[in-house]
Amino acid sequence: MAETTPLLEMRGITKRFGAVRALNGVDFRVMPGEVVGLVGDNGAGKSTLVKVISGIHPGDEGEYLWEGQPVSVTTPQDATHLGIATVYQDLALCDNLDVVENLYLGREVLASGLLDEVTMEHKANELLAELSVTTIQSVRGEVGAMSGGQRQSVAIARSLLGEPKMVILDEPTAALGVAQTAQVLALIKRLKARGLGVIVISHNVSDLFQVADRLFVMRLGAAGGEFDVATATQEGVVAAITGLAGEGNGKAQGATH
């Protein structure tokens, strides 16, 4: 696939809930191997846009293109089949199960009708090693006893089992300490290095400046600005989020379409 073709492209996406227009003609794209930060105040439309992308709330109007081709995504299964994985803020982990059991919950590997524990454990160790996750001492450790950063690592690793092409991370550093946040940000960089498209929803603009290539601001259900992290300032992004940005303040220059 040519690098000029977006992995995901949304054109003119509109979504209504009764009389409320949650999204109003949003254009949004993610390139292969690109990290896009999705920012905006509460109620700006970030979650609704992600739910349209992930098939939870199909858009009412607009085009959904995947690798340059128009597609219909009306269920989460449609998005999964395209290669889109979403890690929600609650992580959906089972605290009473170990890492291997959480990774393979609902997709267990069987051999002669029995659980193939050896294969699952081997693949779990292999995947964590590929992601350079060094803070988890044993894949047989109970997830409920792990730190927030370790739990986030398990959730991200689980999302990669289906070999997706794009991963959506919802507030991955929320409520984490400095060291744990650094672990998760390093993990996001490794997803990018694997050539995946990554969307990171976050209220922490400084975190996004460490890992994102581009920031997309949502404001009142519409695009509020697009910034190239290499040339933008955090002040300019915050001004766009709050609606105080002047015309062209920090806007991305020469963005690839």
- The residue ranges of every structural domain in the chain are 1-83+165-257, 95-163
Q: Are 7 and 30 in contact (CB under 8 A)?
A: yes
Task: Give the per-residue pLDDT at 118.
Answer: 94
CA distance 240 to 227: 10
Residues 6+ apart with CB under 8 A from 235: 250
Task: Match 């996406």 to its residue by tokens.
Answer: 13
Task: Give the per-residue pLDDT at 162.
Answer: 86
**Residue 23: pLDDT over 90:** yes
State the pLDDT confidence band at 256, using cuts at 50, 70 and 90. Answer: very low
Q: For domain 1-83+165-257, which CATH number applies: 3.40.50.620, 3.20.20.70, 3.10.20.30, 3.40.50.300?
A: 3.40.50.300
Q: What does the pLDDT look like over 149-168, one tens digit per residue?
A: 999 999 999 999 989 999 99
Cα first-last separation, the chain: 14
**Which of these, 45, 86, 38, 48, lies nearest to 214 by C-alpha position?**
38
Q: Are 71 and 83 in contact (CB under 8 A)?
A: no
Q: Are 255 and 214 in contact (CB under 8 A)?
A: yes
pTM passes above 0.85: yes
**Residue 221: pLDDT over 50:** yes
Q: What does the pLDDT look like over 77-133, one tens digit per residue?
A: 999 999 999 998 888 899 999 999 999 998 899 999 999 999 999 999 999 998 989
CA distance 60 to 111: 45
Q: What does the pLDDT look like over 37-73, one tens digit per residue?
A: 999 999 999 999 999 999 999 999 999 999 999 999 9
